[in-house]
Chains A and B, each alone.
Chain A
């Protein structure tokens, strides 16, 4: 009898204990591959939001009128088929749901991965492929999550912005970003967001199983381009205000 046979399974700690439930949705949700698919789908929704948000905010460079008109247009979306703000709220609820599923999946997979290596390597690792972005996903994710709460308090609810006036989007943004510490928070958080997107926007293709050797290079290009675009444009807003270019 070999040593391997003698020890089969005896000292193995279950990483994912229990048996899969019968309902197909619960069974899919229980699986790590299923959760990564959900993270990819919700990630696409969040990327879509981040992109649209960035495009809308570019109107700050056209002045107070166009930005405030755009903000009012968002509230009127869907009229007259739907009452005012209804479509906006449907989109918000979709986004909240996407954030919730993305974060819960990430937290559960992180715990599973910690259980999967209960005793760490005792000597330093020499990574050959894992990038700074891929290894810091959970930290850039936490930073973006905390920043999001601050961002809502600053420019949606107004409780982190002493000169907040409901409906006056342009002045709210200017007053907020004129504060140097706030501008720095916005810039750092958007660097974290760009790093998070750089790995996520590539990783989602793998999680969804979208892989074709003819197009695989384009996946990296897309992730790099998307992350750079979001990062550069979003950082430009606080930078232009704090330096007094946009007043």
Chain B
């Protein structure tokens, strides 16, 4: 199939950027979108030009490295699919495809399509952990967890931290990422001791870099792991509860 790529080229963080057009004739429809860029970069290198910088790693949809805004959609038109798992057969033969980097104050451009997503690391560092005593592992079923709760925690834990939620959000908010990283701990018994300090710390860290959630729902549609905005409601609820919680009583049961 024949495609034309319009790719955002930007030499460095402070350089001006522009779209460059590349004709990609005769590419296989079984290629992934990243393989299309591999082919493009081999051409560019053969022509002694600078290859396009883009992030990628596992190429099987679980690492969260790939990140491209494809025709105005984070990770392209296919629902629940990261850029690496988007195959060219899902695109229209002969079409012109515009590719941009994620755009957010929290994700400054490094070069071309590569952005610095370390603001996500700052959010996780602020509270996305539990403090567990070391020692022998406890028996598997010693702590009872309802099936629905463990399933929900697992759904949240599916977040790969790619940043599509921020990229897709009209407000550049990171609410879905933060909610996922918050919920996968706070829905389980092991996450309870730090639950209310965690929610305040993570929300305040998030708001240093990202916009505010106005419930558009774009993030949920863009998420390659299809994480639900239900988790955003849980984050909001716990943030408000944390304001009134006397955490000195949190060791008491019921």
Taking Cβ atoms with an 8 Å cutoff, the residues of A that contact B are 3-4, 7-17, 20, 24, 28, 31-37, 109, 112-113, 115-131, 134-135, 137, 199, 202-203, 205-211, 213, 216
Q: A116-B106, A116-B171 in contact; A121/B100 too (CB < 8 A)?
A: yes
Contact A34 B239 (CB under 8 A): yes
Q: A32-B207, A116-B104, A207-B236 in contact; A130/B118 too (CB < 8 A)?
A: no
Q: A31-B203, A123-B98 in contact; A206/B114 too (CB < 8 A)?
A: no
Contact A113 B172 (CB under 8 A): yes
Contact B211 A205 (CB under 8 A): no
Residues on B with C-beta less than 8 A from A129 are 216-218, 220-221
Contact A116 B236 (CB under 8 A): no
Against A, the Cβ 8 Å flags (1 = close, 0 = not) of B99-115 are 01001111011110010
Measured CA separation A37–B242 after assembly (Å): 13
Contact B103 A120 (CB under 8 A): yes
Contact A16 B207 (CB under 8 A): yes
Tell me which of B19, B105, B122, B171 contacts A122 (CB under 8 A). B19
Considering residues A116, A128, A211, which has the most beta carbons from chain B within 10 angstroms of its beta carbon?
A: A116
Residues on B with C-beta less than 8 A from A130 are 170, 216-218
B114's closest neighbor in chain A, by CB? A3
7 tightest A-B CB contacts, nearest first: A209-B237, A116-B211, A211-B233, A32-B212, A126-B72, A11-B108, A128-B221
Residue B14 at the chain A interface, CB threshold 8 Å:
yes
Residue B82 at the chain A interface, CB threshold 8 Å:
no
Considering residues A10, A130, A208, A213, which has the most beta carbons from chain B within 10 angstroms of its beta carbon?
A: A130
Tier of interface size on chain B = 35 or more
Measured CA separation A129–B173 after assembly (Å): 15
Measured CA separation A67–B230 after assembly (Å): 44
Residue B62 at the chain A interface, CB threshold 8 Å:
no
Contact A12 B218 (CB under 8 A): no
Residue B208 at the chain A interface, CB threshold 8 Å:
yes
What is the minimal beta-carbon distance from B90 to any residue of chain A, in angstroms? 14
Residues on A with C-beta less than 8 A from B210 are 15, 116
What is the minimal beta-carbon distance from B7 to any residue of chain A, in angstroms? 11
Residue B31 at the chain A interface, CB threshold 8 Å:
no
Taking Cβ atoms with an 8 Å cutoff, the residues of B that contact A are 6, 8, 13-14, 17, 19, 53, 69, 71-73, 77, 98, 100, 103-106, 108-111, 114, 116-119, 122, 168, 170-173, 203-204, 207-218, 220-222, 229-230, 232-240, 243
Contact B212 A113 (CB under 8 A): yes
Measured CA separation A206–B122 after assembly (Å): 25
A127's closest neighbor in chain B, by CB? B218
B207's closest neighbor in chain A, by CB? A16
Measured CA separation A124–B72 after assembly (Å): 6
Q: A113-B173, A123-B72, A206-B236 in contact; A137/B105 too (CB < 8 A)?
A: no
Residues on A with C-beta less than 8 A from B216 are 127, 129-131, 134-135
Residues on B with C-beta less than 8 A from A121 are 69, 72, 100, 103
Q: A11-B116, A31-B239, A113-B173 in contact; A119/B103 too (CB < 8 A)?
A: yes
Residues on A with C-beta less than 8 A from B243 are 24, 28, 34
Contact B218 A206 (CB under 8 A): no
Contact B172 A14 (CB under 8 A): no
What is the minimal beta-carbon distance from A32 to any residue of chain B, in angstroms? 3
Measured CA separation A81–B218 after assembly (Å): 52
What is the minimal beta-carbon distance from A103 to any residue of chain B, in angstroms? 15
B17's closest neighbor in chain A, by CB? A122
Considering residues A15, A33, A124, A209, which has the most beta carbons from chain B within 10 angstroms of its beta carbon?
A: A33
A-B contact pairs, 21 of them (CB 8 A): A3-B53, A3-B111, A12-B106, A13-B105, A15-B105, A16-B209, A32-B211, A33-B207, A112-B212, A115-B211, A116-B173, A120-B103, A121-B100, A123-B98, A125-B72, A128-B218, A131-B216, A205-B233, A206-B236, A209-B235, A211-B233
Contact A209 B100 (CB under 8 A): no
Residues on B with C-beta less than 8 A from A211 are 230, 233-234, 237
